[in-house]
Amino acid sequence: MDETLRLSLQTCFALYGASRAVTSAYRPLLDPLGLTYPQYLVLLVLWERDGRAVKEIGAELRLDSGTLSPLLKRLEAAGFVERRRETADERVVTVHLTGSGRALRESVACVPGQVAAKAGLDREELIALRDVLTRLTRTIEGKTP
Amino acid sequence: MDETLRLSLQTCFALYGASRAVTSAYRPLLDPLGLTYPQYLVLLVLWERDGRAVKEIGAELRLDSGTLSPLLKRLEAAGFVERRRETADERVVTVHLTGSGRALRESVACVPGQVAAKAGLDREELIALRDVLTRLTRTIEGKTP
DNA sequence: GGCATTTAGATTGCGCACAACTCAATCGCG
DNA sequence: CGCGATTGAGTTGTGCGCAATCTAAATGCC
């Protein structure tokens, strides 16, 4: 097989493996708090700005309602968020942190540092990796809308 | 929040997003053939060397039997592979390509090239990305065995 | 005002991932 | 040889991720 094709395959597989490895690096840290990695991402979005619509959260994380609806239901069942149907536009549901949802922020403050330590990349590499992955994602999404 | 922690979060999220973006770049190419990306990976492993044990495939792709057993069952139902319980050691099941499983190889020959085109990274970037991701995965797996 | 179109969210269904468990076969050690 | 420990595969249950579909609400256009 062509060298370039092989390289493409290897890179895609490396991406697939690395993503699972990072998620599994988060797992032992989040599990004691009763969170999964995607749930943690939703909370990050809400900690930055509370009371967002499901739609906005989805735009931020690139997740549709098919993924978010049940996930938010679980976060609500766990007591970390509340969902409110807006009166101004009753199609919209906004998601609000509860007290324990806000409190969780302190509990996970050390998580990113611990994951960074497990990853073992230095600052330069993290920046380069973040930037090339962001560009890759944007390029693909531009071509598969 | 600490600048470094933010960087770590951004990089993990970029990895999570890029992995899904790449998988979704494969989807329209593999879907007409009745394959998913993980199924395609299993076939890649078998095209390289046929008749491997489930265990070996799992070691190659870092997938356990909980993922592979039903996946292989679906590949078998689709007529691309056959599973045989070994007589020498009856715990072992080896997976063998069928004629149509082998034939599929030609049909997907163009796939990696098309994905590479969608990704829009040049050769140097692909190599750098593959290598840093491979190192990242190994480092994490070394620390979370 | 009335009706088609669009929009936000939920639901259904399928296929991974992964943990936890079962079961049968094999291995290893006394 | 016998038997406990280990191994390989499968099963069960949970939680994404995404396509397809549904419903209700809002919008637009006449």
CATH number of the domain encompassing residue A99: 1.10.10.10
Q: Is residue A57 part of a domain?
A: yes
The answer to whether position A91 is within a domain reads yes
**pLDDT attached to residue B69:** 98
pLDDT of residue B4: 87
**Chain B residues in contact with A57 (beta carbon < 8 A):** none
pLDDT at A145: 56
Whether B58 shows a pLDDT value over 70: the answer reads yes
For residue B145, being part of any structural domain is answered with no
Q: Which residues of B touch A29 (CB under 8 A)?
A: none
In a domain, B127, yes or no: no
Q: Does residue B31 sit at the A interface (CB-CB below 8 Å)? A: no
Of A9, A118, A136, the CB nearest to B143: A118
Out of B14, B37, B121, the one facing A130 most closely (by C-beta) is B14
pLDDT given for residue B144 in this prediction? 61
Which letter does DSSP use for residue B49 in this model?
S
pLDDT digits over B104-137, tens only? 999 999 999 999 999 999 999 999 999 999 999 9
Q: Is residue A127 part of a domain?
A: no
Residue A144 has pLDDT above 80, yes or no: no
Domain residues for A86? 34-107
Residues A56-73, mean pLDDT to the nearest whole number: 98
Number of folded domains that form chain B: 1
Which stretches within chain B are classed as H helix? Answer: 3-30, 37-48, 54-61, 65-77, 99-107, 111-119, 123-143
Report the Cα B29 to chain-centroid distance in Å. Answer: 15
Note whether residue A75 is domain-resident.
yes
Positive or negative torsion for Cα A57, A60, A65, A71:
negative
- A113-138: average pLDDT: 96
Closest-lying nucleotide for A23 based on CA to C1': C17
A34: left (phi over 0), alpha (psi -120 to 50) or beta: left
Is B19 close to A15, i.e. CB distance below 8 A?
A: yes
Q: What mean pLDDT, rounded, does chain A reach? A: 95
- Rounded to whole angstroms, the Cα distance separating B139 from B45 reads 23
Closest nt to B91 (CA→C1')?
D8
Domain membership flag for residue B18: no
Spatial contact of A81 and A92, defined as CB atoms under 8 Å apart: no
How far is the CA of A145 from the CAs of A10, A130, B28, in angstroms? 25, 22, 12
Across the range B23-28, mean pLDDT stands at 97
pLDDT of residue B31: 97
**Nearest CA to CA, how far is B29 from chain A (Å)?**
12
